[in-house]
Structure 1
Amino acid sequence: MSTERGDGMAAARALMNGEPLHTVLDTSDPAAWTALDFGVREPAWYEQEREPLDTRDSIRRRRLSLDGHALLPTGSLARTRGLALALCHDDGRTRERALGAAAGVRELLPLVVIRCTDWAEPVRERARAVLREALPGAPAEDLPLLTALVLRLAVRARGDFARGLLDEVLRSAPYETVHALLGSGDRATRRFAHRIAVDKRMFSPVELARIAASADDVVVQDMCGQAAFAAVGDEGQDEVLVPLLSARNPRVRSWGVTALRRAGRHAQAEPYLADRSAVVRACARWVVRQDGADPVAVYRAWCTGDDMPPHAPLGLAECGVRADAALLWPLVAHPVAGVRAGAVAGLRALDTADAERLRPLLDDPAPAVVREAAASLEASARQLPEAWLVERLATDRPPHVRAAAFRLLWARGGTAGPAAARQLADDPDPKLSARARQALRRSGAVR
């Protein structure tokens, strides 16, 4: 049984025992409301009362009546409690009658939202009519919960109505209402609110750029970054471009680099030819070419000069030719580890990796260089001496060297890989031992 459903059963028992709704349920949590809906109809909750299932009392506990428990004096906590149970009742006629009584009861609007996805059409249509009347006038402080709940239910077969109604209501709401949802703790709510705010042009281009650069949600980053890009005029806007170009997320930086062309600042894209992100490098190459320049020439100049960006060798491989490998081979001995790693990755991209020449790099002190070397040598692992690789499994070797040696031993096929995995299964290095055990399980060597 899921935790949520178990919580819903506990809430149902507490409501039946007379406790108020707000004390048995976290009314700000959409999951608590859906759990209550399940919990009221879950047979196990009244079995726990230790009563025979076929007794009248147990049947009464399950099939609540609006004539008894629910229809109590208006405004009483008991009436709200009874209506909450009736709205989740397993009998559709009871749920439908409860919707009529619940209209205008603010505390129960989340259950009305849930009933909008009800399998029974009369219940569903009644709930939608109630929600259509209540949602436009719902207090602003209720909207975060209702929005999160609507979006949670939108994945259900009949969840499109409430989502469409919510979208319509928020698009006609004042700025303050939508703005209050932008910082919601619910990710789906934040994304929904940002999409509406972007569509309604609630943000200036500068605000869009700053949100794209600072948001921790990639969907929001991309949404606002794209909108900020579209707002860059022919003359360019530093206050928009600078946040985009300095963003940590590569998608946002790519929007900024691409916007340089719209701003007529092609030359400013050149440093981004050596960006750490492949997508940003690709955008920079496109912008540079639009200005009539040749990015390959820039890369070649970097790779033969003294002041070389670490990702320049890989950038050259992405747009160069096999002959450019002659410029990359000397760089595998470069003093900067990032350059060495980029050179090895570039040689692999150009399909010019040589096992004997790359083999010494498996002992490189930089983990990034060893990872790239192992990736380049994987296809030709059989050309490497098995005993030489096994030596690098010794505990006195650096962890990244041991991991690369195991990777290549496994890539050799045959018995070398499983033998190395059994050797490392109880290794003091938890990451390496976990990797070895996982490899054994996947191969079927260990059940």
Structure 2
Amino acid sequence: MRKSIEDSRDGSAAAVRLAEGASLRSVVAAVADPGGWLSLDAGVREVCWYQGVPLPDWERTAPLPADLTRLGESGLALALCHRDGRIRQAAIRQSRPHPDLLPLIAIRCADWAAPVRERARGLLREALTPQTAADLAPLILRLGHRDRGDFGIELLADALRQAHLEQLAALFGHPDRGTRRFAYRLAVEDRRLSPAELARTAARDEDAIVQDLCATAALTTMQETDVDVEDLLEPLLTARAPRVRSAGVTALRRAGRPERAEPFLGDRSAVVRACARYVVRQYGGSPAAWYRERCATPDDPALAPGAVIGLAECGDRGDGALLWRLLVHPAGGVRAQAVAGLRTLDLADTRRLTPLLDDPAPGVVRETAVALLPSAKQLPADWLLERTERERPRHIRVAAFRLLGAHGGTAARRAAAALLEDPDLKLRTWARRAAQQAPKGSAAQRGVR
């Protein structure tokens, strides 16, 4: 709510500048984004219930003349946003020679007054070219969320479909996320990108919606057209985003290349591992056997942490012996996933896991704390309290405090009181929250200032 008020104030200031004679371009420089045009529209209509004055500031500075034909571009901008629908309608008629007013014409296309709305739509339909459509796309898409805003979306799509691919491609890198998605959606629907281009886009774009859209389209074209499978799959399989890699791995089944799916059984992402297991099983392979073979050597430096948790995901309790041996692996990531795997198989042993709360690797301590939470009351409270002391590494203090919270009792309250002065901000915040929830008169409560 506060943000909208600030936007309205910005729009009111812009309206005053227009009334004082500033050019529209100089004012638009300060409100160049879609939100700026919308705040200008709202700011012009500022009335007494917002500012406590009979008229908006701009109208007291320079009221509009009765004859709008005498107005220049700045005056027409004010008239297009006026609270009186008759003035807005008349201003639209005078705006045809002023292309810089098109953003405000686009706003009027969603106007509540039907005569204003219809006149604005006619003008926008005449004026919208592929280039102006590209320029107005972020604003029109924002207006699409309003009632009666669907007209602009349909008109925008029709105009951009007539654009050259270079014009449409300029929107692929637009800073507005909604505009990028809309442009890619049109390109996919009209098949304006090749399967290889779609695959490369899915691999490099950081937006999850674009990733899914382009990866799905690339794989669909793989089924429907004669394409080079390697050119299509390579960008997907090497992508950073797990959702894109998983799409590429799943496509290996259609391509008849299950052997390429095997390395992804040890991927760092659970969804990619699950897709790889699906592909391997479809061709008669055994993911569990693959995992067991790799986890059989407890000191193998090449062992991937994903292979360790993968064993727990598709193995059984009999695989616990392999996981227990991996708790001494030199790589912290492998040790952490071994703990997570034991928890997944419901094999967490409090006595054997407790020493890992002193592990130098934060990931190991974090997974150990999660595994021990259900049995926190079995842990020695004083032993945990010692691990919240300031000289201990942060990850150990965090884990011990978390376990003390589950443990409860006097030790937990003492830890909360002590951590109120901890150098770490998050720990101080958690301690203060715990202290505020402690019984009145306790040591933790007395520590709150």
Quick one: structure 1 residues 297 and 66, their matched pair in 2 at CA, closer, same or farther if it must change by over 3 Å? farther
Instruction: Give the CA deviation at 1:120.
Output: 2.0
Q: Residues 175-210 of structure 1: CA distance to partner in whole angstroms, max 9, x if unpaired?
A: 122112111111111111111112222222221121
Please state whether the residue corresponding to 1:31 is helix, strand or coil.
helix
Answering whether residue 28 of structure 2 is matched by residue 12 of structure 1, we say: no
- 1:236 & 1:352 partners in 2: Cα distance? 47
Structural mapping, 1:32-431, within 5 Å? 32-43=36-47, 53=54, 61=60, 64-65=63-64, 67-68=66-67, 70-72=68-70, 79-135=72-128, 137=129, 140=131, 142-232=132-222, 237-305=229-297, 306=300, 307-431=302-426
- 2:338 & 2:160 partners in 1: Cα distance? 52
Instruction: Give the CA deviation at 1:259.
Output: 1.2
Letter of the aligned partner of 1:86 in structure 2? A
Please state whether the residue corresponding to 2:305 is helix, strand or coil.
coil
Aligned residues of 2:309 and 2:337 also touching (Cα < 8 A): yes
Quick one: structure 1 residues 274 and 101, their matched pair in 2 at CA, closer, same or farther if it must change by over 3 Å? same
Please state whether the residue corresponding to 1:155 is helix, strand or coil.
coil
Aligned residues: CA RMSD: 2.6
Residue 75 of structure 1 corresponds to which residue in structure 2? none
Q: Residues 345-369 of structure 1: CA distance to partner in whole angstroms, max 9, x if unpaired?
A: 1111112211111111110011111
- State the TM-score, normalizing by the size of structure 1: 0.90
- 2:306 & 2:125 partners in 1: Cα distance? 56
Aligned residues of 1:112 and 1:131 also touching (Cα < 8 A): yes
Aligned residues of 1:236 and 1:264 also touching (Cα < 8 A): no
- 2:398 & 2:48 partners in 1: Cα distance? 50
Letter of the aligned partner of 1:197 in structure 2? A
- 1:218 & 1:441 partners in 2: Cα distance? 40
Letter of the aligned partner of 1:183 in structure 2? G
Which range is displaced more, 291-300 or 218-227? 218-227
- 2:169 & 2:108 partners in 1: Cα distance? 28
Please state whether the residue corresponding to 2:72 is helix, strand or coil.
helix
Gaps of 5+ in 1: 73-77
Aligned residues of 2:133 and 2:160 also touching (Cα < 8 A): no
Instruction: Give the CA deviation at 1:80.
Output: 0.8
- State the TM-score, normalizing by the size of structure 2: 0.89
Quick one: structure 1 residues 360 and 21, their matched pair in 2 at CA, closer, same or farther if it must change by over 3 Å? same
Work out the number of aligned pairs and report it: 433
Quick one: structure 1 residues 387 and 58, their matched pair in 2 at CA, closer, same or farther if it must change by over 3 Å? closer
- 1:143 & 1:382 partners in 2: Cα distance? 64
Quick one: structure 1 residues 18 and 389, their matched pair in 2 at CA, closer, same or farther if it must change by over 3 Å? same
Letter of the aligned partner of 2:80 in structure 1? L
Aligned residues of 1:96 and 1:126 also touching (Cα < 8 A): yes
Letter of the aligned partner of 2:66 in structure 1? D
Aligned residues of 1:310 and 1:339 also touching (Cα < 8 A): yes
Instruction: Give the CA deviation at 1:300.
Output: 1.3
Structural mapping, 1:15-30, within 5 Å? 15-26=18-29, 28-30=32-34
Residue 442 of structure 2 corresponds to which residue in structure 1? none
Letter of the aligned partner of 1:232 in structure 2? M
Please state whether the residue corresponding to 1:231 is helix, strand or coil.
helix
Quick one: structure 1 residues 337 and 84, their matched pair in 2 at CA, closer, same or farther if it must change by over 3 Å? same
- 1:134 & 1:11 partners in 2: Cα distance? 25
Instruction: Give the CA deviation at 1:65.
Output: 4.1
Q: Residues 402-428 of structure 1: CA distance to partner in whole angstroms, max 9, x if unpaired?
A: 111111111223454444223212211
% of aligned pairs identical?
A: 54
Aligned residues of 1:8 and 1:32 also touching (Cα < 8 A): yes
Aligned residues of 2:264 and 2:276 also touching (Cα < 8 A): yes
Aligned residues of 2:134 and 2:167 also touching (Cα < 8 A): no
Quick one: structure 1 residues 20 and 92, their matched pair in 2 at CA, closer, same or farther if it must change by over 3 Å? same
Aligned residues of 1:13 and 1:46 also touching (Cα < 8 A): no
